[in-house]
Structure 1
């Protein structure tokens, strides 16, 4: 099945968008009418450019507010439609999208709408054009794809069919299963968009908050399966209105977009259906996808990671981090035999400190290591999803690692799981034996995200590594709300919270942090304090609030206050944790989950954010 994208989904000029789509590996595009109108190239020139780039032009859109009107208005609408069909013909496009009437509809009648679509179909046929009628979620009278299909049936014209758009169906909560009742030959076009679960008017939701498949809350896999089961054989096409994507580099966004379609097609192909025939028809439709940049037979199956392997902190000088790790009970395991890199460990938690090619860089989270069931399969899948390869200088005697770069620039490495100590750890010499510590493993790694890559990061982690996304949450901070979304594997041994700062800050005040799971966080805090660790200071007001909120014993509150520990409790258990001060742009957190607690102490985040900003310990004047 071919893959297409609407030019409205990308930034730049029409020519720039076509080049970006071709470079990413799309088969075709939908031409958004305003993009053509604003272009200084003729329809013929655009058509020739598309052919030269290997792109088909699949749809011209949108033709608005035609049906459901009085006869005098409709006469003028026919003239307008004919002009649009002439333009589409010059582009070499044979399908035009006709939206259900929003602005000028005055006649709420299926028979009238059908008659007018039939007459529009007659005009379209004269230009060799088909019209795909789409029920807009905010259409004045026609806002349901099932009604649009009834009207198309009544029109009974070979050049009149329907366009199905996942946003218009799913945003209204309509059941997509009835798509299978539509004659697949009359589904002229399929448009796909995901979206977050929001409570707002559908027009604003549609115009500003659509996402690429895999980034939102819609079940697009089921939607596509129903459409393919009906017999649809046209392209899978993306139509995503989103303020972020219209401001970012079109080349990057096009790759991001195609990755989402590859993930969706793969998800559909592997989905199990209760109807064996419908499943066979749907997967057969997807099996014929072809592109020079895409795998011919679907993506390589790669199972999700089984745990963290390591976290890498990179800086020109990592000595300050070394001191902190020593105060926390980490063991220095040695220096790498060929690189200015050291390894520190505690329990199953491994921290790599990297000073290679780090001139003028302050300490920051540069890479995350994962353990996966089959490193080779994950490497193949990452390549098929066009994930950029992370550079790592490796010599013949050193362990090769799978490597990719996430949209925010963080490198991800992976090795096959199965051993307590990874093979690459043997490349470090001169260390000492690991000492006993309450630290057990890496609990989660919190990666701050620039606003323009947040959705891309969700898709990257979901598609390449098979992580699932929790529902987003918003945390109040000193500079505005911080949006957080956790990516995790099934048993939560890998947790990657993605935090997005308010746009105006561009992530500048959101340091990244690594959280370590402990068996006794109070004992660890006492030992670290005795070793001189400077904790992030928690204000006294927090402990007064804590005592009242949870009814804790005075002695418990006093101990928490003494050690700058924070506390949370939920129905599933309780949570005790503390933070170090920030070094460069990274800090550490140590957590103890008690009786199945599964959260992150979210209510404590504003306290932490304010303390990191410097609001604790200042002098009133």
Structure 2
């Protein structure tokens, strides 16, 4: 007897009720935009546009957009400690931003009031961990949000190639002790993220719980404090670090070192085929390379 193969329609797919299709941009808040800009340029990003009415700069390489928010009227900027940059927002690409935002509010999320001025685009958002936000963007194909709110920097290539083919791989979030179950439930409930088994690891940092986005294009890592820490906490629950996917970690490390980027090298942690971690600069900014 021959068993018939199931039709493609019979194969269950991961639920993706918000229509998430990747990361549109990641935002840093800082009162030291020039210093952070130099760090980003060392990582291969290039400033390509400036906001029309606020002190906000768009950096880009390849398919990655990164926003530096230095608007002094933004509480996330004025609230930074000693000028240390913080990841203040992650924007998800979705099929319908209003529907995604409305669904999150129905699930219990706290909405962020719009601060868009006249002729500016309103990007719906909800509150994330700490002071951060999650934005929903549906203008990322034929038209983009940057076409309206940003002015291109003259003579600058608007689409610089990615250094060593880097792309967004994921985000690392620090959480409080014993809070993994709460945050796993939150991301499953709110965004349809799916937990990855503990034995399935990426990069060189073994800590934390991993989750995959419903579109399968990026990961989310939740890291609790080490049990030996007296305070029982590694700081506020916050978005801590960006992970970049590369096809050749060694090549990427070599290229970034040529740009002046330094990497953590010790007996416990050093660049290898699976990944590498940059040394923290400006007190809080570090990046992780992961073999994809």
Query: Relative to total residues, which structure has the larger helix share, 1 or 2?
Result: 1
- Report the 3-state secondary structure (helix = DSSP H, G, I; strand = E; otherwise coil) of the residue aligned with 1:305: coil
Give me the TM-score of the superposition, normalised by structure 2.
0.76
Equivalent in the alignment of 1:459: 185
Distance 1:322 1:309, change over 3 A: same
Question: 1:391 deviation in Å?
Answer: 4.2
- Report the 3-state secondary structure (helix = DSSP H, G, I; strand = E; otherwise coil) of the residue aligned with 1:586: coil
Gaps of 5+ in 2: 1-15
Aligned length, in residue pairs: 259
Question: 1:375 deviation in Å?
Answer: 1.5
Question: 1:368 deviation in Å?
Answer: 0.8
Distance 1:488 1:409, change over 3 A: farther
CA contact (8 A) 1:335 1:343 kept: yes
Question: 1:387 deviation in Å?
Answer: 0.6
User: In the alignment, does 2:76 pair up with 1:346?
Assistant: no
Equivalent in the alignment of 1:566: 272
Question: 1:118-517 alignment to 2 at 5 Å?
Answer: 302-356=17-71, 357=74, 358-359=77-78, 361=80, 362-416=84-138, 419=141, 422-424=144-146, 426-431=148-153, 432-433=156-157, 434-437=159-162, 438-451=164-177, 454-471=180-197, 484-502=208-226, 504-508=231-235, 512-517=240-245
Question: 1:346 deviation in Å?
Answer: 0.9
User: In the alignment, does 2:282 pair up with 1:589?
Assistant: no
Question: 1:352 deviation in Å?
Answer: 0.8
Question: 1:519 deviation in Å?
Answer: 4.1
CA contact (8 A) 2:170 2:242 kept: yes
The one-character-per-residue Cα deviations of 1:176-220 (angstroms, maximum 9, x if unpaired) are xxxxxxxxxxxxxxxxxxxxxxxxxxxxxxxxxxxxxxxxxxxxx
- Report the 3-state secondary structure (helix = DSSP H, G, I; strand = E; otherwise coil) of the residue aligned with 1:329: coil
How many angstroms apart in 1 are the aligned matches of 2:211 and 2:92?
14
Gaps of 5+ in 1: 1-300, 476-481, 544-563, 568-574, 594-621
Distance 1:435 1:523, change over 3 A: farther
How many angstroms apart in 2 are the aligned matches of 1:346 and 1:385?
35
How many angstroms apart in 1 are the aligned matches of 2:143 and 2:43?
21
How many angstroms apart in 2 are the aligned matches of 1:494 and 1:512?
16
CA contact (8 A) 1:401 1:413 kept: yes
- Report the 3-state secondary structure (helix = DSSP H, G, I; strand = E; otherwise coil) of the residue aligned with 1:344: strand
Distance 1:492 1:519, change over 3 A: same
Larger RCO: Structure 1 or Structure 2 (Cα < 8 Å, ≥ 6 residues apart)? 2
Equivalent in the alignment of 2:6: none
How many angstroms apart in 1 are the aligned matches of 2:180 and 2:33?
28
- Report the 3-state secondary structure (helix = DSSP H, G, I; strand = E; otherwise coil) of the residue aligned with 2:276: strand
Q: CA RMSD in A?
A: 3.1
CA contact (8 A) 1:566 1:578 kept: no
Question: 1:489 deviation in Å?
Answer: 2.2
Distance 1:526 1:444, change over 3 A: same
How many angstroms apart in 2 are the aligned matches of 1:458 and 1:406?
14
Distance 1:580 1:467, change over 3 A: same
How many angstroms apart in 1 are the aligned matches of 2:221 and 2:139?
22
- Report the 3-state secondary structure (helix = DSSP H, G, I; strand = E; otherwise coil) of the residue aligned with 1:306: coil
How many angstroms apart in 1 are the aligned matches of 2:166 and 2:260?
22
Give me the TM-score of the superposition, normalised by structure 1.
0.38
Question: 1:455 deviation in Å?
Answer: 3.6
- Report the 3-state secondary structure (helix = DSSP H, G, I; strand = E; otherwise coil) of the residue aligned with 2:78: coil
- Report the 3-state secondary structure (helix = DSSP H, G, I; strand = E; otherwise coil) of the residue aligned with 1:322: helix
Question: 1:454 deviation in Å?
Answer: 4.1
Distance 1:418 1:367, change over 3 A: closer
Equivalent in the alignment of 2:252: 524
Distance 1:390 1:360, change over 3 A: closer
Question: 1:388 deviation in Å?
Answer: 0.8
- Report the 3-state secondary structure (helix = DSSP H, G, I; strand = E; otherwise coil) of the residue aligned with 1:399: coil
CA contact (8 A) 2:177 2:232 kept: no
The one-character-per-residue Cα deviations of 1:145-197 (angstroms, maximum 9, x if unpaired) are xxxxxxxxxxxxxxxxxxxxxxxxxxxxxxxxxxxxxxxxxxxxxxxxxxxxx
Question: 1:466 deviation in Å?
Answer: 1.5
Equivalent in the alignment of 2:276: 577
How many angstroms apart in 1 are the aligned matches of 2:253 and 2:145?
32
